[in-house]
C-alpha cells in the first residue's frame, strides 16, 4: 500500500467534502484503498492499493464525485500552513453579493412604488431586476445543481437544497424571498470561508512562532538569511526577544529562554554551552550562538505543527457519528420537505375537494421550501471537527502532543492508568538523600569520591556530583568494580570498600545493617565501616498531584516497575497508587497490561505511560499510549499516541481535562444545532418563520458554533 498526501482546494462546504470523501472511499475499482479528506486543513490523504495515480487521473475520479471546481497539488514537506482569509474567490463572491443586493433593492422599490397591478410594465421591469439579481448571485449554484444530476449518489447537498428552495420560491412568485435566500446563502458562504480560514491561521499562529529570517555567521560576518536556507552545522546568533527557528546546540554564550510554546512551562530556563535548544523557544535574557542540528522543515515546531494539522486524519467518534448522521439526516429532511410541499396539499385537496392555490398549495409548498433551507447540516459538519482540531492545538500549546482526534477522544474513556516508575513518576536521576560518617567529613567525601569517580554507574555519577569534592585526588591503586556489590581500591595506603551490604558481608565486615527501601552504600576503611550514603531516585514534583487527580475522577492506577518491592511499596503508598507489581522484566509488564486490557471496551480505556525503549511494547499495546519526552527518535515516543514534551506527569491530567472539554464542546455543537434546526422546522410548520429567517438562522448557527469552538483555545485548564 502506498500513501500520498495532497492539498485540495475549491470545495464549497464541509458537507460537500464529507460527500466526496464517502464517494472516494468506494472507488476500490480505480485502485484507491481508502481516503481521508480534511475540509478544515484542505488536505487529502489517499491510500493506494498498489499503483499511485497521477494528479490528472485522480482529478477525473474526484470530478465524478463533486461538482466543485477542485484543484489538487502534492503536499509539500515544508509548506506554509497559513491561508489567505480574503482570497480571490471570497472577494469575487462579496462583489457578486453587493451587486445582487443592489439589484434586489431596486426591484423591490420598483414593485412597491411604481407597479399598480400584476403584469403591467413596471411589474415586468421589477421581475427583470429580480431575475438579473438572482442569476448574478446563484449562477454557480445553478450550474452545480444541473451538473449534480450526473452524480445522483451525492446530489442531495447544500447546493441542491438551496437551489430547489429558491427556484420553488420563484415558482410561487415569492421573488424577493427567492433572491434573498440565495444572497443570504452566499453571505453565509463568505462568513463560513472567512471563519474557517481565520480559525486555521489562529491555530497555526498559536503553535508556530518561528521567524522567517535569522542572523547567520558567515566567514566571521553576520548576515540576515531566510530560515529555510539554513543547513545543519550552520551557526546563528540569537538576542533578547528573538525566537529560535530551528533545533540546535549552544556553542557559546548563555541565556534565559522561554520554552512555553513547546513545553507549556512558563518558567525561563538557563542554557549554556553544549545545551540543546528547541525551535519555538524565545530568548528572555542574554545572547547565544547556536549550531543548527535540524533543518527548518525537520525542527521540533515543524513536527508539532504537522502533527496538529494531520490530527484530523484520525477521526473521533463524534466526527464519525456526524458523517453517518449527515448521510441519513439530509435525505430524511429532503423527503419530509417533499411530503409537506407535495403530498400533504394533495391529500388535503382530495379530502376537502378544494384545489385552491392560495389556501392550500401555496401554504404547504412554502413550508416545504423552508424545510429545505434549514435542513443543511453544515453547521454540525464544520463545528465538530473544528472543536477536535482546536482541542489538539490547545493540548500542543500546553506541551502535550496528541497524534489524532481519535486519541484525544479516547482519553475521555480512560478508566485506568498503568504507569512505569523510573523516569515516569520519578526523575530517573539519583541523588544523595542522606549521609552519615564516623570520620572527618572531608576525608569521608574524599574516599567515596575517589572510588566512585572511576565508576560509570549512574549511582556513582550521582554521588560524585552530589559530594562535589573539589580537591585533587592522589593515585588510586588496585581498583576493582565488583558488579552487583560495589567498588574497592587502595588509596593513601588504606584499603577501601564502598558498596551495598552484600559487599560488606562478602568481606566479613561487622556493621549495623539499615532497613530502608532506598539504595544504601557503606564505606569501609581498613575493614572498619565508617559511614554510609543513602541514594535514591527522586519522585517528580507533580506525580502526587497526578495521582490525586486520577483518584478524584475515579480512574484506577497501577504501577509496573522493575525496581524492588520495598521501593515500589513505599512510592505507591506515598503517591496513593491503587496497586503495583515490582521486580518486573519488560515481558512481565506486557503480561500484566494484557490482563488489565481484558476490561477494555468502547467506554473503558486503559492508558499506559512510560519513558524508555523497554516501555515501547506496552505503549503500543495499550488503548492510549503516553510517552514522556520530547519529539525524538526513541521508540516509546515514536509509537505513542500522546507525547508529553516536558516529562511532567501532571500533563496527563491536563490531557484528560482537555479531552473532556473538547468532547463537551462537540456534544454542545451537535445538540444545539439540532435544537435550533428542529425549532425552526416546528415554527415553519406553524407558518411563524419566513424562508429568509431560516437562512439567517442556518448561517448564524454555523458562525456561532465555529466561534464557540475557537474559544476552546482560551479555555483555562485547572487540574490541581
Catalytic residues, by residue number, are: 420
Q: Which helix (H) or strand (E) holds 525?
A: strand 519-525
Place of cell 492508568: 417
Positive or negative CA dihedral for 704, 710, 711, 715? positive
CA-to-CA separations, 553 to 37, 274, 411, 416, 549, in angstroms, rounded:
36, 43, 13, 11, 6
Which has the closest alpha carbon to 292: 302, 279, 304, 305?
279
Pairing of strands 2-9, 43-48: antiparallel
Taking only Cα atoms into account, the Rg of the chain, rounded to an integer number of angstroms, comes to 34
Place of cell 500500500: 1
Residue 517: count of CB within 10 angstroms of its CB: 15
Q: What is the number of helices (H) and of strands (E) in the chain? A: 23, 24
The answer to whether the CB of 37 falls within 8 A of the CB of 20 is: yes
| Distance linking the first and last C-alpha atoms of the chain | 46
C-alpha grid cell for residue 632?
525524538
C-alpha grid cell for residue 197?
480560514
Distance (Å, whole) CA 679 – CA 627: 46
Q: Is 280 left (phi over 0), alpha (psi -120 to 50) or beta?
A: left
Which has the closest alpha carbon to 177: 701, 678, 703, 684?
684
The answer to whether the CB of 100 falls within 8 A of the CB of 183 is: yes
Say which residues have a Cβ less than 8 Å from residue 372's Cβ, sequence separation at least 6. Answer: 161, 162, 164, 165, 168, 333, 334, 337
Distance (Å, whole) CA 681 – CA 43: 35
| Phi and psi, residue 684, nearest 5° | -70, -35
In which order are the strands placed within the sheet that holds 494-499? 426-437, 528-539, 519-525, 494-499, 486-491, 476-482
The answer to whether the CB of 222 falls within 8 A of the CB of 216 is: yes
User: Residue 477, SS3?
Assistant: strand
Burial of 620 (0-12, 13-18, 19+ CB in 10 A): middle
CA contacts within 13 A on the Cβ side of 710: 19
Residue 656: count of CB within 10 angstroms of its CB: 23
Positive or negative CA dihedral for 331, 334, 339, 342? negative
Distance (Å, whole) CA 452 – CA 496: 11
Amino acid at each position: 500500500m502506498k500513501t500520498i498526501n495532497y492539498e485540495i482546494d475549491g470545495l464549497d462546504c464541509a458537507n460537500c467534502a464529507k460527500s466526496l470523501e464517502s464517494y472516494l472511499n468506494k472507488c476500490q475499482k480505480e485502485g484507491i484503498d481508502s481516503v481521508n479528506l480534511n475540509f478544515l486543513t484542505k488536505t487529502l490523504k489517499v491510500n493506494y492499493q498498489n499503483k499511485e495515480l497521477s494528479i490528472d487521473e485522480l482529478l477525473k475520479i474526484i470530478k465524478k464525485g463533486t461538482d466543485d471546481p477542485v484543484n489538487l497539488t502534492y503536499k509539500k514537506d515544508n509548506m506554509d500552513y497559513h491561508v489567505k482569509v480574503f482570497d480571490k474567490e471570497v472577494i469575487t463572491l462579496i462583489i457578486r453579493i453587493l451587486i445582487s443586493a443592489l439589484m434586489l433593492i431596486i426591484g423591490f422599490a420598483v414593485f412597491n412604488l411604481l407597479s399598480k397591478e400584476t403584469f403591467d410594465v413596471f411589474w415586468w421591469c421589477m421581475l427583470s431586476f429580480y431575475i438579473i439579481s438572482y442569476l448574478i448571485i446563484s449562477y454557480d449554484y445553478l450550474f452545480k445543481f444541473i451538473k449534480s444530476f450526473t452524480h445522483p449518489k451525492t446530489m442531495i447537498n447544500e447546493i441542491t437544497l438551496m437551489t430547489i428552495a429558491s427556484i420553488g420560491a420563484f415558482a410561487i412568485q415569492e421573488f424577493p424571498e427567492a433572491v434573498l435566500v440565495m444572497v443570504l446563502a452566499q453571505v453565509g458562504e463568505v462568513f463560513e470561508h472567512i471563519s474557517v480560514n481565520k480559525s486555521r491561521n489562529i491555530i497555526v499562529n498559536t503553535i508556530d512562532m518561528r521567524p522567517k529570517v535569522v542572523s547567520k555567521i558567515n566567514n566571521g560576518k553576520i548576515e540576515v538569511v531566510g530560515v529555510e536556507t539554513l543547513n545543519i552545522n550552520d551557526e546563528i546568533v540569537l538576542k533578547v526577544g528573538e525566537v529560535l527557528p530551528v533545533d540546535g546546540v549552544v556553542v557559546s554564550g548563555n541565556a534565559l529562554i522561554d520554552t512555553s510554546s513547546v513545553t507549556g512551562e512558563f518558567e525561563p530556563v538557563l542554557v549554556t554551552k553544549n545545551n540543546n535548544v528547541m525551535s519555538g523557544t524565545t530568548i528572555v535574557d542574554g545572547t547565544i550562538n547556536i549550531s543548527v542540528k535540524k533543518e527548518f522543515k525537520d525542527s521540533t515546531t515543524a513536527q508539532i505543527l504537522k502533527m496538529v494539522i494531520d490530527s484530523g486524519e484520525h477521526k473521533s467518534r463524534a466526527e464519525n457519528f456526524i458523517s453517518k448522521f449527515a448521510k441519513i439526516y439530509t435525505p430524511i429532511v429532503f423527503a419530509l420537505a417533499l411530503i409537506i410541499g407535495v403530498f400533504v396539499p394533495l391529500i388535503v385537496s382530495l379530502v376537502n375537494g378544494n384545489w385552491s392555490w392560495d389556501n392550500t398549495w401555496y401554504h404547504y409548498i412554502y413550508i416545504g421550501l423552508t424545510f429545505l433551507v434549514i435542513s443543511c447540516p453544515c453547521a454540525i459538519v464544520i463545528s465538530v471537527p473544528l472543536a477536535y482540531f482546536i482541542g489538539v492545538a490547545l493540548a500542543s500549546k500546553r506541551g502535550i502532543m496528541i497524534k489524532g482526534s481519535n486519541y484525544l477522544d479516547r482519553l475521555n474513556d480512560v478508566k485506568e492508568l498503568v504507569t512505569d516508575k523510573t523516569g515516569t513518576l520519578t526523575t530517573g536521576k539519583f541523588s544523595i538523600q542522606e549521609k552519615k560518617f564516623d570520620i572527618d567529613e572531608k576525608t569521608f567525601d574524599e574516599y567515596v569520591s575517589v572510588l566512585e569517580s572511576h565508576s560509570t554507574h549512574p549511582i556513582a555519577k550521582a554521588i560524585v556530583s552530589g559530594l562535589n569534592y573539589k580537591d585533587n585526588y592522589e593515585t588510586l591503586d588496585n581498583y576493582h568494580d565488583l558488579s552487583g556489590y560495589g567498588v574497592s581500591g587502595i588509596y593513601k595506603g588504606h584499603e577501601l570498600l564502598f558498596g551495598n551490604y552484600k559487599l560488606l558481608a562478602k568481606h566479613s565486615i561487622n556493621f549495623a545493617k539499615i532497613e530502608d527501601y532506598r539504595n544504601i552504600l557503606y564505606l569501609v576503611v581498613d575493614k572498619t565501616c565508617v559511614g554510609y550514603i543513602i541514594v535514591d531516585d527522586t519522585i517528580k514534583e507533580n506525580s502526587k498531584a497526578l495521582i490525586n487527580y486520577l483518584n478524584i475522577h475515579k480512574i484506577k492506577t497501577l504501577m509496573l516497575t522493575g525496581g524492588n518491592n520495598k521501593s515500589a511499596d513505599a512510592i505507591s503508598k506515598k503517591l496513593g497508587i491503587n496497586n503495583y507489581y515490582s521486580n518486573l522484566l519488560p515481558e512481565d509488564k506486557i503480561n500484566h497490561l494484557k490482563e488489565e486490557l481484558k476490561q477494555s471496551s468502547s467506554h473503558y480505556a486503559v492508558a499506559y505511560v512510560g519513558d524508555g525503549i523497554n516501555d515501547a511494547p506496552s505503549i503500543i499495546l495499550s488503548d492510549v499510549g503516553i510517552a514522556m519526552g520530547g519529539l525524538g527518535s526513541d521508540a516509546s515516543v515514536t509509537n505513542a499516541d500522546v507525547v508529553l514534551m516536558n516529562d511532567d506527569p501532571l500533563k496527563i491530567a491536563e490531557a484528560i481535562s482537555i479531552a473532556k472539554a473538547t468532547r463537551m464542546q462537540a456534544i454542545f455543537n451537535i445538540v444545539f444545532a439540532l435544537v435550533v434546526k428542529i425549532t425552526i422546522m416546528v415554527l415553519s410548520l406553524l407558518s411563524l418563520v419566513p424562508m429568509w429567517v431560516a437562512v439567517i438562522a442556518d448561517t448564524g448557527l454555523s458562525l456561532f458554533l465555529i466561534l464557540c469552538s475557537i474559544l476552546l483555545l482560551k479555555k483555562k485548564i485547572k487540574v490541581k
